[in-house]
């Protein structure tokens, strides 16, 4: 029978069928960061349980690390304590971690693909909801809680309810300045943040195939904002070219064997999905959120809806007014959604030769130590610095705000991150999600602006 990409990978990893659609799956890869990882390792130690296979887990410092230029730890004593605990527990357990200042350190959902640790056809888990990002390379990846994390460390398996399947097609050719971020925001706006609940989503269509791997990572990153734990894109020649030669990718004869297997993974022509959706990308304008949920999104040339009074009050907006022209106080370019090298290049292209508005505080936070080095080799950091932006160290930073890097109360921030919930970027912070180019344009204009009005 014809099978989907999801079905093929899932079925290849079933260890036991527990009944009622619940199955025990083998876990091929596991990622940890200092916020959730050290809790799982500590619990293992306290319970006297040894890890099943330390070689299948790697870790990185990302959530509580300071991104202040030159920083080597956290922004507070508690953060430094957590970082040191993660180091100590990892050493005891035999887990490889990429520490601050090392090639390989960065946001786990950036460095997993960067290192070639994320591979097509594998199951990959992490104690973080945006683990769905890794599905862009054809992996079956999702986020887990602390108790599940401990189960994975102890057994290299996980108990999971088999989800339904959804295919989201992105057809047509996107117009100028319409990016992967705009595409996925448009889908969330169309079907809502509960539209993917209980589903594994496969993204397909002409526009998806046209994206580079970094763009595909952006699309899959926001799968959880659809309500879906799993988002996937079938591997193709772009995937193979991206992975070849990376640190943890197969080499030599193993590469040839892996490649032959990967080419069998894409969904068969007659594969059936439980749910189907489509987006005509040729009709999209650059997107921006206006409310307190990723589903509260419109084209930047649109008017603010009036269907959520509480969200309007929190955001300090008036229904019926154009979203363009709203004054901006902060701009954040970073996060596991949009902190990769092509994202920084796109933002720098808008910024080059311009100056940020005097009242705007703008940060650029690379997603990994390697991306920071590569961006600096291209001179991108100088483009941002010359424009009055802050160029910072790698980490999650203002996306999650747990390290004290936050938006001030009532300040309006255009952010390339993935969540605009109440208080997400700080108490009473007002967050508008957008692409790197849109965020850069807002910093220059000092207000929300259609990046297409900039002559690039």
- pLDDT reading at 228 higher than 60: yes
Distance CA 228, CA 224 (A): 5
Q: At what angle do helices 341-351 and 213-221 cross, to 10 degrees?
A: 100
pLDDT in tens, 288-322: 999 999 999 999 999 999 999 999 999 999 999 99
- Distances from the Cα of 432 to the Cα of 11, 187, 312, 324, 408, angstroms: 40, 17, 12, 12, 14
- Where residue 454 falls among pLDDT bands split at 50, 70, 90? confident
- pLDDT reading at 235 higher than 90: yes
- Where residue 402 falls among pLDDT bands split at 50, 70, 90? confident
pLDDT in tens, 40-61: 999 999 999 999 999 999 999 9
The confidence score (pLDDT) of residue 456 equals 54
The confidence score (pLDDT) of residue 412 equals 98
pLDDT in tens, 245-261: 999 999 999 999 999 99
Q: What is the mean pLDDT of the chain?
A: 97
Residue 287 exposure: Cα atoms within 13 Å on the Cβ side: 26
The confidence score (pLDDT) of residue 361 equals 98
Percent of the chain with pLDDT over 70: 100
Taking phi over 0 as left and psi of -120 to 50 as alpha, with beta for the rest, 279 belongs to beta
- pLDDT reading at 180 higher than 60: yes
The confidence score (pLDDT) of residue 1 equals 84
Domains of the chain: 1-284 (3.30.499.10), 287-453 (3.30.499.10)
Residue pair 325/447 in contact (Cβ under 8 Å)? The answer is: yes
- pLDDT reading at 75 higher than 80: yes
Please tell me the pTM assigned to this model: 0.98
The confidence score (pLDDT) of residue 62 equals 97
181-207 burial, b for 16+ CB within 10 Å, e for fewer? bbbbbbbbbebbbebbeebbbbbbbeb
């Amino acid at each position: 029978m014809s099978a989907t990409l999801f079905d093929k990978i899932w079925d290849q990893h079933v260890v036991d069928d527990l009944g009622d659609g619940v199955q025990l799956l083998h876990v091929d890869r596991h990622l940890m960061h200092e916020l959730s990882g050290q809790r799982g390792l500590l619990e293992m130690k306290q319970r006297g349980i040894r890890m099943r296979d330390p070689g299948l887990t790697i870790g990185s410092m990302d959530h509580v690390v300071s991104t202040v230029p030159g920083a080597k730890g956290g922004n507070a004593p508690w953060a430094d304590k957590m970082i040191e605990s993660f180091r100590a527990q990892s050493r005891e357990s035999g887990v490889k971690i990429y520490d601050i200042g090392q090639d390989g350190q960065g946001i786990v959902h950036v460095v997993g693909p960067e290192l070639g640790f994320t591979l097509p056809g594998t199951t990959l888990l992490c104690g973080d909801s945006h683990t769905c990002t890794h599905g862009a390379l054809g992996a079956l990846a999702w986020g887990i809680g602390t108790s599940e994390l401990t189960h994975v460390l102890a057994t290299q398996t996980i108990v999971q309810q088999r989800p339904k399947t959804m295919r989201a097609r992105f057809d047509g050719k996107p117009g100028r300045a319409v990016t992967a971020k705009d595409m996925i925001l448009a889908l969330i706006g169309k079907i809502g943040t509960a539209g993917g609940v209980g589903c594994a989503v496969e993204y397909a269509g002409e526009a998806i195939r046209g994206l580079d791997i970094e763009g595909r990572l952006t699309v899959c990153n926001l799968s959880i904002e659809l309500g879906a734990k799993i988002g996937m894109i079938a591997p193709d020649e772009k995937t193979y070219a991206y992975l070849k030669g990376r640190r943890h990718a197969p080499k030599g004869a193993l590469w040839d064997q892996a490649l032959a297997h990967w080419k069998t993974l894409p969904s068969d022509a007659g594969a059936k999905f439980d749910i189907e959706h489509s987006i005509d990308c040729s009709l999209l304008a650059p997107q921006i959120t206006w409310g307190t949920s990723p589903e509260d999104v419109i084209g930047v040339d649109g008017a603010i809806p009036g269907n959520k009074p509480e969200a309007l009050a929190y955001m300090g907006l008036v229904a019926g007014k154009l979203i363009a022209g709203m004054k901006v106080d902060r701009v954040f370019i970073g996060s596991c959604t949009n902190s990769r090298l092509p994202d920084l290049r796109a933002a720098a292209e808008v910024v080059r030769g311009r100056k940020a508005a005097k009242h705007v505080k703008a940060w650029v936070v690379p997603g990994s130590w390697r991306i920071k080095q590569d961006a600096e080799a291209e001179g991108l950091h100088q483009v941002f610095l010359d424009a009055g932006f802050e160029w910072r160290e790698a980490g999650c930073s203002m996306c999650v705000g747990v390290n004290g890097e936050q938006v001030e109360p009532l300040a309006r921030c255009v952010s390339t991150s993935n969540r605009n919930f109440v208080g997400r970027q700080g108490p009473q912070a007002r967050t508008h999600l957008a692409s790197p180019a849109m965020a850069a344009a807002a910093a220059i204009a000092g207000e929300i602006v259609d990046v297409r009005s900039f002559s690039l």
